[in-house]
Amino acid sequence: MARKDLAERKKAFQNLSGMEIKRVYKEKDVNDLDYQEDLGDPGEYPFTRGVYPTMYRGKLWTMRQFAGLGTAVETNKRFKYLIEHGQTGLSVAFHLPTIYGWESGHELTIGEIGKEGVAIDTLADMEDLFDGIDLGEISTSMTINAPAAILLAMYIVVGEKQGVPTSMLTGTIQNDILKEYIAQKSWIFPPEHSMRLIIDTIEYCTEHIPKWNTISVSGYHIREAGSTAVQELAFTLADGFAYVEAAVERGLDVDDFAPRLSFFFNSHNDFFEEIAKFRAARRIWSRKMKNTYGASKKRSLILRFHTQTAGVSLQAQEPENNIIRVTLQALAAVLGGTQSLHTNSMDEALCLPSEKAVKIALRTQQIIAHESGVTNTIDPLGGSYYLEWLTNRMEEQVNAYFDKIDALGGVIPAIKENFFQMEIARAAYQYQKDIENNDIKIVGVNMQRTGEDSLGGMEILKIDDKIGERQVARLKKVKSNRDNGEVARALRELESTAKGTGNLMYPILDAVRSYASVGEIIGTLKNVFGEYKEDAIF
Amino acid sequence: MEMSEQRKIRVVVAKPGLDGHDRGAKVVARALRDAGMEVIYTGLHQTPRQIVETVIQEDPDVLCLSILSGAHNAIFPRIMELMGENEIDDVLILAGGVIPEADRAELKDLGLEGFHGPGTPLKEIVDYIRNHLKR
């Protein structure tokens, strides 16, 4: 007989990955959990509780706000503004023409120059971008994939010109092409050629820039494209292992390069699901690196990650509410043990973030770090029946996806069969339908809707449309001042290396030094590698 | 009953611009298909010329454009110009993605409408299309 006072609001409670959540979790739900085997102390295998013995008691996470707008000179000013307000690492967003390897001025670049990031055509732009910023003192993360080797080469040369030895540089290139085919779609070459370029950068960095993070294996975009938390974790880790396999195949020792692989995850709305995801990520990675790939160095076994709060969770309706969403997502990332964090600005569903909104987003991190007390102890939620149960379920469901991917022949064959793309498209549609059926509630959108869709009184950032013309003119000037014979020679050398098997970083460095543009370097490689075409499925 | 006797509404969903944010476009494409429309999705990175060529070939009732790169002020006018040159004036043209309020009036004058940005219920888009067809 049902007692009325025990009636619940809903028939079933689910998290965003669709797992059914029980009313309460008890000891028996985590009966088989073994502290040493499954959790370990912070800094100890399998690193579920954290990758370092002291975590935030030693050093807080890096507050790294992604920025890039207009020209290099303008972004340089934003960087200096962020450094002045306490930001401890730089993160560069490039404009789309650079991301796709088109010169500013190409037909496909109309209206795009300097829009979603900074316009970099040649080394001259990179020199402006880091003008007055000591590359020996700051770590820089560059969100660049298909042309990552070129932007890394530019960074190295700017360092040389500042007198900073290459071996001293610290930073990250995203350099994760697999998730481009899966989710973000900024590919250039077919997968096999892209993998070669990536392994070339790993090989180069392992030898010359030991502290550089060579790939930031990214789940962020997979999640933004619509995946669930489980899919984000499974597909990202599968990508990570695919890079490990490719590098081992090249003849590199796993313990030489694995310590410089890092990860990049999304933090979405379901608080505990996200924390469990981060904890499961560390455990799955370390177990497989040890047991499957035979890694032995501690650094090879630890999964370090950057987090960005979920852009897709930001709403255009009552945008101020986004500050609260971002706060919860950021808190989940911190309780999940992130190494660095980007908090989104409240106005991003409406426009590119304004300076005021960016500042509030940074302040959100500082309040969590310095006022909330959550940094006093490591993994404060460890041992919670619910969280440990959820962490276990995450690991199980991720392993089930690994089996499916293996059955398709690995990550690249699965991409070619549109496996990931269809899984994500389905999940994205389901999520939207759940919102519209009110199964998932979004305050101010499908409940308590008031229709206030504007940012009263807040200034909206607009990029000057003249930037395009200025950047095209600048590129023209650089081209008229450089030694074009030297450029042609460097590009010929690059082409011949591309046709062979040599490491492409060396001819790319030469081409960059000659002020060859990203577009010219990519164009040369396209002649040899060809271009990727996706199936337009939905 | 009435609907099933009617010809299916034909829709081209196009992604101009260099951004890869195709989540919204794909979700809308599925929703329109589930609502009984015939949907052609162009895929990413379409130039204005490619989009107008698709419209000429497919002869849709509706063209849905989705862009989140901020290049709409440059790209949309170019698309409308090419539509004009080809004397296409009976296609309902909807704009989705991130298009700031301040930019909309000017785009409306060019003949774009709808402006279904993030958070728009799918049913709203379906209904809008049914109520605003130009042929």
Rounded CA-CA distance A347/A295 in Å is 44
A422 touches chain B (CB under 8 A): no
Mean pLDDT (whole number) for A378-396: 98
Tell me which of B102 and A142 has the higher pLDDT: A142
Question: Mean pLDDT throughout A430-438?
Answer: 91
Instruction: Report the DSSP pairing between strands A171-173 and A140-143.
Output: parallel
* Alpha-carbon gap: A198 to the closest alpha carbon of chain B (Å): 21
How far apart, in Å, do the first and last CA atoms of chain A sit? 47
Helix (H, G, I), strand (E, B) or coil at A1: coil
pTM of the model: 0.91
Phi then psi dihedrals of residue A82, to 5 deg = -65, -40
Mean pLDDT of A275-279: 98
Report which residue type is found at A146: A
Residues of chain A with Cβ-Cβ distance to B22 below 8 Å are 185, 225
Return the half-sphere exposure (C-beta side, CA atoms, 13 A cut-off) of residue B55.
29
- Chain B interface includes A211 (CB < 8 A): no
Tokens of B12: 């081209």
**What residues of chain A lie within 8 A of the CB of B118, using their CB?**
312, 314-316, 349
The total number of residues shown for chain A amounts to: 538
Percent of chain A with pLDDT strictly greater than 90: 81
Cα gap A158→A165, rounded to integer Å: 10
Closest by CA to A42, choosing from A393, A337, A285, is A337
Closest Cα partner for A363 from A81, A47, A86?
A: A86
For residue B119, give the nearest of A99, A185, A315 by CB distance.
A315
Whether pLDDT at A455 is above 70: no
Residues 447-466 of A with CB under 8 A from B: 453-454, 460, 462-463, 465
User: Does B18 contact A96 at a Cβ distance shorter than 8 Å?
Assistant: yes
Tell me the average pLDDT across A284-313.
97
Q: Does B71 touch chain A (CB under 8 A)?
A: yes
The answer to whether the CB atoms of A111 and B71 lie below 8 A apart is yes
Does residue B100 lie in a domain region? yes
The tally of CA atoms less than 13 A away on the side-chain side of residue B1 is 0
Amino acid at A292: T
A116:B69 CB<8 A = yes
Whether residue A456 is predicted with pLDDT greater than 90 in this model: the reply is no
Distance of CA B2 to the CA centre of its chain: 25
Q: Is B77 on the interface with A (CB under 8 A)?
A: no
Contact B19 A312 (CB under 8 A): no
Does the residue B132 lie in any domain? no
Interchain pair A446, B121: CB under 8 A: yes
CB A131 within 8 A of CB A76: yes
**How far does B13 lie from chain A, in Å, by closest CA?**
11
Backbone angles phi, psi at B103, to 5 degrees: -90, -10
Q: ∠ at Cα A448 (A444, A451), nearest 5°?
A: 55
Check pLDDT > 50 for residue B96.
Answer: yes
pLDDT in the model for residue A111: 86
User: Checking DSSP bridges between strand A90-93 and strand B38-41, what pairing results, if any?
Assistant: unpaired
Q: What SS3 state is found at A64?
A: coil
Q: Is A94 helix (H, G, I), strand (E, B) or coil?
A: strand
Question: Residue A77: in which H helix or E strand, if any?
Answer: helix A72-84
Amino acid at the residue B11: V
Query: What pLDDT, on a 0 to 100 scale, did the predictor assign at position A459?
Result: 63
pLDDT (0 to 100) of residue B2: 46
- What pLDDT does A449 receive? 76
Q: Which of A116, A425, A446 sits opposite B19 (nearest CB)?
A: A116
Q: How many domains does chain B have?
A: 1
Residue A317 sits at the chain B interface (C-beta within 8 Å): yes
Cα–Cα distance, A47 to A334 (Å, whole number) = 15
A186 touches chain B (CB under 8 A): yes
Residue B129 lies in a domain: no
Is A436 an 8 Å CB contact of chain B? Answer: yes
Confidence of residue A235 (pLDDT cuts 50, 70, 90): very high
Rounded to 10 degrees, the C-alpha dihedral B27/B32/B38/B39 comes to -30
Partner residue opposite A115 with nearest CB, options B21, B71, B122 = B71
Q: Is B53 on the interface with A (CB under 8 A)?
A: no
Architecture label for domain A45-436: Alpha-Beta Barrel (3.20)
- Pick the more confident residue, A66 or A378: A378
Note whether A40 and A47 are within 8 A (CB): yes
Quote the percentage of chain B above a pLDDT of 70.
96
Largest CA distance in chain B: 43
Question: What contacts B112, CB < 8 A, 6 or more positions away?
Answer: B65, B76, B80, B93, B94, B95
- Could you give the angle at the alpha carbon of A57 between the alpha carbons of A56 and A62, nearest 5°? 30
Q: From the centroid of its chain, how far is CA A51?
A: 19
Q: What is the DSSP letter of A3?
A: -
Q: CB within 8 A of A169, min separation 6: which ones? A: A135, A136, A155, A156, A159, A209, A211, A212
- Does residue A46 have a cis bond before it (omega within 30 degrees)? yes
Q: Please list every residue in chain A whose beta carbon sits closer than 8 Å to the beta carbon of residue B18.
A: 96-97, 99-100, 102, 108-109, 112
Mutate which: A98, A116, A325, vs B, most B CBs within 10 A: A116
Beta-carbon neighbour count of residue A21 at 10 Å? 17
**Residue A324 near chain B (CB below 8 Å):** no
Residue A458: pLDDT band (50, 70, 90) is low
Q: Quick check: A332 pLDDT over 70?
A: yes
Residues of B in contact with A536 (CB under 8 A): 41-44
The shortest C-alpha distance from B128 to chain A (Å) reads 16
Helix, strand, coil share (%) of chain B residues, nearest 5: 45, 20, 35
Cβ distance A246 to A198 under 8 Å? yes
8 Å CB contact between A255 and A296: yes
Distance from CA of B120 to the nearest CA of A (A): 9
Are residues B18 and A108, on separate chains, in Cβ contact within 8 Å?
Answer: yes
The pLDDT assigned to B98 comes to: 84
User: Which residues, 6 or more positions from A9, have their beta carbon under 8 angstroms from its beta carbon?
Assistant: none
Residue in A97, A180, A436 closest to B121 by CB: A436
Per-residue pLDDT at A478 = 97
Nearest CB to B20 within list A185, A432, A445: A185
* CA angle (A308 as vertex; A305, A312 as ends), nearest 5: 140
Which tens digits make up the pLDDT trace of A15-25? 989 999 999 99
Confidence of residue A453 (pLDDT cuts 50, 70, 90): low
CA–CA dist A105, A475 (Å, integer): 9
Pick from A95, A143, A119: which is nearest to A475 by CA?
A: A119
Residues A466 and B74: beta-carbon distance below 8 Å:
no
Q: Reply yes or no on whether the pLDDT at A1 is more than 80.
A: no
* Average pLDDT rounded to a whole number, residues A280-298: 98
**Number of residues that this document lists for chain B:** 135
The pLDDT of residue B60 is above 80: yes
Q: Which residue of B has its CA nearest to A427?
A: B27
Q: In the numeric block, which tokens belong to residue B23?
A: 């989540």
Residues in B closer than 8 angstroms to A112, CB to CB, are 17-18, 69-71, 74
Average pLDDT over residues A397-401: 98
B39 inside 8 A of chain A by CB: yes
Chain A interface includes B17 (CB < 8 A): yes
* A452: pLDDT strictly greater than 70: no
Strand partners, B67: B97
Write down the residue that tokens 């109520």 correspond to.
B131
Mean pLDDT along residues B64-71? 89
Contacts of A413 (CB under 8 A, 6+ apart): none
| CATH number of the structural domain spanning residue B101 | 3.40.50.280
Question: Is the confidence at residue A451, as pLDDT, over 60?
Answer: yes
Strands (E) across B9-129 are located at 10-14, 38-41, 62-67, 92-97, 113-116
Q: What is the DSSP string of A216-253?
A: EEE-HHHHHTT--HHHHHHHHHHHHHHHHHHHHHHT--
Q: Out of A521-530, B54-63, B99-108, which region has the weakest mean confidence (pLDDT)?
A: B99-108
**Chain B residue with the nearest C-alpha to that of A182:** B20
pLDDT at position B1 over 60? no
Contacts of A437 in chain B (CB under 8 A): none
Does residue A522 register a pLDDT over 70?
yes
Mean pLDDT, chain A, as a whole number? 94
Q: Nearest C-alpha of chain A: how many angstroms from B115?
A: 12
Tokens 């010809």 label which residue? B7
